[in-house]
Amino acid sequence: MSPVEKILINRLQQGLPLVRHPYAAVAEELNLNEQQVLDSIKKLLAEGVLTRFGPMFHAGELGGGLTLAAMRIPDPDFERVAALVNEFDEVAHNYRREHELNMWFVLATETRDAIEKTIAAIEKNTGYPVYNMPKEQEFHVHLHFPV
């Protein structure tokens, strides 16, 4: 990563000003030119250093359902169950974690009441209970990785 790319990665995680020419505005702030900013973002996306550049939606405000859920799966059965769980379009992220509850996934559904239905379907397909852990309160969220 070049020094310019590092500066841009740090700045662009914080949010673009919502003005008519936002890339030019960021360029001016950082003493770069607009084309440099656009080209760097394209390159970082192509290389996979950035996974996305765009609006970050607050799923809870969109009328859909969102929750974190966990399962406790014995090791010999883990891969089979992971494949069954991942088949659901509603499963957005799924992580294996080092704990007795070893599978953790985020469910995102178009409507709020679809969460319970999806959990019931996962329990039925896999034969294991799902522990639903919806957020009850959100404290500050700031996804920022300085480089």
Residues 111-130 that bind other proteins (CB under 8 A): none
**Sole binder of other proteins in the list 28, 29, 33, 62 (CB under 8 A):** 62
User: Measured from the CB of residue 127, what is the shortest distance to other proteins in angstroms?
Assistant: 17
Neighbours of 65 (CB within 10 A): 21
User: Measured from the CB of residue 9, what is the shortest distance to other proteins in angstroms?
Assistant: 6
3 binds other proteins (CB under 8 A): no
93 binds other proteins (CB under 8 A): yes
Q: CA 94, CA 103: separation in Å to the nearest integer?
A: 7
Q: List Cβ neighbours of 34 (8 Å cut-off, separation of 6 or more).
A: 21, 23, 24, 27
Q: List Cβ neighbours of 147 (8 Å cut-off, separation of 6 or more).
A: 1, 6, 9, 10
Pick out residues in 63-82 that bind other proteins (CB under 8 A): 63-64, 66, 68, 70, 72, 82
